[in-house]
Amino acid sequence: MVGYGTTKCALQYLTDGLAPEHRDTNVLVGSISPGLVRTETVARGIPHIPPAMRASRFEFMNAIAELPTTSAAWIVAQTSSNRRNGVRLVWLTRRRLLLRLLQRKLRPRRVLQDRAAAGGPDCSDSAT
């Protein structure tokens, strides 16, 4: 996962450099940060979570994770309406993160399911 995080930072750095260069052109440069999305990359990391940490990690990840369809709909809406250069589109804002973490006991979400222990896939085909 170190490489993944490093490339995300590098892409943001590149975006921050390209946006000013295209300020007076018809090219819009920006970045999209959809937060944690249930993907194959996420699923591949699940078996590496130590069993003793699995329950708390899943509670946290389920609180902040999104389905790909949710993220895709938001990305389409945001990019379709954006007309400004250098915009950072961020789904998991500090406010949203705080609300999700405060609500996780009252309204548990099941975007990811721990099926690795049962020998099945790490991410379910449906979420509730």
Is residue 37 a contact partner of residue 96, using CB atoms and an 8 Å limit? no
pTM listed for this prediction: 0.76
User: Which amino acid, one-letter code, is at 1?
Assistant: M
Q: What is the pLDDT of residues 19-62, one digit of tens each?
A: 999 999 999 999 999 999 999 988 888 888 999 999 999 999 99
User: Which residues touch 71 (CB under 8 Å, ≥6 apart)?
Assistant: 34, 35, 37, 91
